[in-house]
Chain A
């Protein structure tokens, strides 16, 4: 029986894929009918907010249960690889950061498939649909304590390597939080801009340390040598920077979306620094995709469609309609008070570059830890 279901599943998945390319109208009723027979859908999510859109989905589509399961992005990849090897297809949908790994380790090996709801084809820019659908963009940026400091204290990434910030910059540990490998790699990728900005700040061209390849690496080296503090949790960084009543609070890199921590904890007083040269942060694509031979393909599609929300944001997208997460739909803008992604001076992480150079950058970081 199970076999038949999965065969049907595969068939409908293949048909589904065919449909998207044909850009047919999205038939919600038919999909719901098919999904209802599957009764449930399993989603591996990098974000615990899976439970929120899961709940609203269950309310909207009674009869389909969402089994959300949250873990770190690298763990999701490891698990999906194992499940595919075991032919034990637990996950239907994966929802995670680290696009370079997802594309190279899963998509290129045909272990996950792209699904773009047909009615959204024209509402999402091409680079957010290929090779895999992007749910939203997530930004990592620098925060400061706005209780103690009236204005953002940092104007350039290079400021953080100066003496006055010695021992007062916090950077997330890329050895533990893989998304910060992306941040570092992206800075290295943009080494020319880093070099130019160095010249702007210091008035002279950068002199690279022996053995250092470019200005991006040089920045990492100087940050480390400036007694940067390494912490293993972005939540702790938000607290370290943002807790009130500090004499000399540090600044730190963290997830932009940490801003919502302030709602949970009124003692947190921090803000994002928007005017940092050459870039105020790095944006990463958060990917949502259907797993190869998923047991509940129709429910998976319906769930992805729900997650993508509507033109006002919508209930399904609502958990991500916050500061620091940026919608990919052309018809949805960032929440009120937040700038749109395109208005921010950001670097977008390049999955291909991160795949090829991320480890090299991490190695550089590890080798220069003192």
Chain B
């Protein structure tokens, strides 16, 4: 097996007394698209900057394409300019005193390329990025989306094997953001560059990533495929951070239900209980159950795993409808993909499918292990 393209080991960064990045490790293969996801100030940008070589870590090791570029133990630090990575900044960081062409050509000039070759490459990339008519404009004379394209073009023209992107779309309006999302994904597919992409927008993260790393307070909470992150969040933070509307959290305790296959576990709460697929967990343990809004169904009759509830609000939005319902002191969100004829105050029954009920340990916040076969 070839060496990973990016490998980060025990990476730590301390600013003064604040631990910004805490012992983060991961590795990426060729063509991986890793999204560093987390709330602002969580340390995700710092990780990216350390990979780029713009920030000197406090401890740990970084390998790029098998080359050790940072190690505190071995006293190695390769500066950014020798790492050959492409970086796109949140602010685009276009040089206001240079035209589009000059901005793009800069990296090639640095490499000492001949003028003719620079011209050729610049022309090619501006055409590719649909910036043809803008070559002699200055950045401040262009729209945000155009500036973003220039920033991408400037990175692409040097043909780096690694793309690093720091919230590149956060300054664009919603429509443009969708367009650019597709464009960046497309770029990734065409170039095959290993990409690390920082965002705080979990939808953006989910749609673009091949791998998602959720970071909180400098700690890597979970690193998995977007699907796993969504379906099997490793802990309550990830569960809560991913998904919109947010996952429903229900505090309760475990109870035992004996079945043929052994003892399954139920979620027990005030006046109702619901079956889960968990097995062999000590009864009476404090837990927090979680279920995604789209996994709850509204059913006409009481039955297996249903609970009664009252409709509080109905929030239709085109193809989807979000219900807010009350069950005792609990408020749950329900996402329905069909039209519903419900009104506030109406009594309904909610079906909680056992396979979608996740249980987290209340004390640690960690996901309790599900039996293998349900995965």
Direct contact between the two chains A and B in their complex (CB within 8 A): no
Chain A interfacial positions (CB closer than 8 Å to B): none
